[in-house]
Structure 1
Amino acid sequence: MFSTIDYLKKGNKGQRKAYHAISRLGIIDSLSDYDPILCGTLPIGINSKNSDLDIIMEVQDFQSYEKKVRKLYGNKEDFRIKRLQIRGRSVVKANFIFDGFEFELFGQDQPVKEQNAYLHMIIEDSILKQFPDIRKEVIKLKKQGLKTEPAFCKVLQLKGDNPYEVLLNYGKQKGMI
């Protein structure tokens, strides 16, 4: 379902607005070599007015990717790009503002459907479909300042020191991923 952004056209107000911003920017086509997928709260409809647009990609050649991103989006408001290590993997992360949204481009040397952002989204989407009544509670907790994964863990009463890992393990145990 999340391989394209077409589903956003029929979504909530924020999803429709995001669809138009992403389409106007042409980012999915411009970066198609990197298998871009929109992840996070917006695709699964638990977004807030401040939700950013997280686009994850598989990147093998960080130098050419960074050069392309700078060329395409370096002139956008608040553009910044950096290389870092996350859980032992090289990452290039770029952020900028366009059409009222903060975009975060996340390039990692791993297939997108194996990246944690994608796996979390799939798990959370499955949980929301299985337990639709918890949507409002998750959104309420997020408005109170909790991040998405800790909010899901609290609502589901999942225990553990790292809610990101706890949610991944829950999803694996339940056959969601």
Structure 2
Amino acid sequence: MNERPTYQEALRRTGLLGVLAPFDPHVVGTLPLGVARPDSDIDIVCSATDLPAAVGLIWKHFGENESFAVHQWSAKGRPVTATFEAYGWPFEIFISSTPVQDQAGWRHFEVERRLLSLGGPAFHTAICELRAEGVKTEPAFACVLKLEGDPYAVLYDLFSTSNDQLTAILRAQGFAAGRIQEA
């Protein structure tokens, strides 16, 4: 029986990051954060000024893959998403005309990475326990930190918060502060 490769190996085998290189691709989400569930997908955020060209390139390289699909929301500012499966992994690519550093997916990922680094092992365990119960990532962070309001909006807003302020939020919930590790 073949075991599926690590997500890093699946990325390497697909050559996806090379294909997406003109669009500033960044892997985000639960896998690089270390809070994934067995059904987690490989999430990638990109930025393209010419969305049809970006979609065309993805279609050209991955359109034959299992479960390939492209979706475009009609709401202004919403990304195009492309999904497919390869090497036992589901992939989800978000392509937006917004620069990556301003996209919600990137901002959520970065603040979650900082919180996990600052929060220590007990914080990581608390997040993983909720994730194992099926709680989505942003709601898990908001729940553990007892943050009020829409968890997606709250985490988006925490992006600009200093490490000292994040440490204070963590300490208020009983989590010891760790050290930020460079990505």
Q: Provide TM-score, normalisation by structure 2.
A: 0.82
Residue 89 of structure 2 corresponds to which residue in structure 1?
Answer: 101
Residue 116 of structure 2 corresponds to which residue in structure 1?
Answer: 128
Which of 147, 157, 161 is 1:169 aligned to? 157
Q: Distance in 2 between matches of 1:171 and 1:108?
A: 19
Q: CA deviation at 1:136?
A: 1.0
Residue 41 of structure 1 corresponds to which residue in structure 2?
Answer: 30
* Preserved CA contact (<8 Å) 1:85 1:91: no
Q: Distance in 2 between matches of 1:24 and 1:119?
A: 27
Q: Distance in 2 between matches of 1:127 and 1:142?
A: 16
- In the alignment, structure 1 segments of 5+ residues that lack a partner are 1-13
Residue 98 of structure 2 corresponds to which residue in structure 1?
Answer: 110
Q: Provide TM-score, normalisation by structure 1.
A: 0.85
Residue 40 of structure 2 corresponds to which residue in structure 1?
Answer: 51
SS at match of 1:38: strand
AA in 1 matched with 2:93: L
- In the alignment, structure 2 segments of 5+ residues that lack a partner are 167-183
* Cα distance change of structure 1 residues 90 and 112 upon mapping to structure 2, 3 Å threshold: same
Which consecutive segments of 4 or more residues in structure 1 shift more than 6 A? Answer: none
* Paired positions, count: 160
**Mapping of 1:134-149 within 5 angstroms?**
134-149=123-138
Residue 19 of structure 1 corresponds to which residue in structure 2?
Answer: 8
**After superposition, what is the alpha-carbon deviation per residue over 1:21-41, rounded to whole angstroms, capped at 9, x for unaligned?**
000000111110001000101
Residue 60 of structure 1 corresponds to which residue in structure 2?
Answer: 49
Larger RCO, structures 1/2 (Cα 8 Å, 6+ apart) = 2
AA in 2 matched with 1:140: E
SS at match of 1:173: coil
Q: CA deviation at 1:82?
A: 1.5
Higher-Rg structure is: 2
* Cα distance change of structure 1 residues 163 and 24 upon mapping to structure 2, 3 Å threshold: same
The root-mean-square deviation of aligned C-alpha atoms, in Å, is 1.7
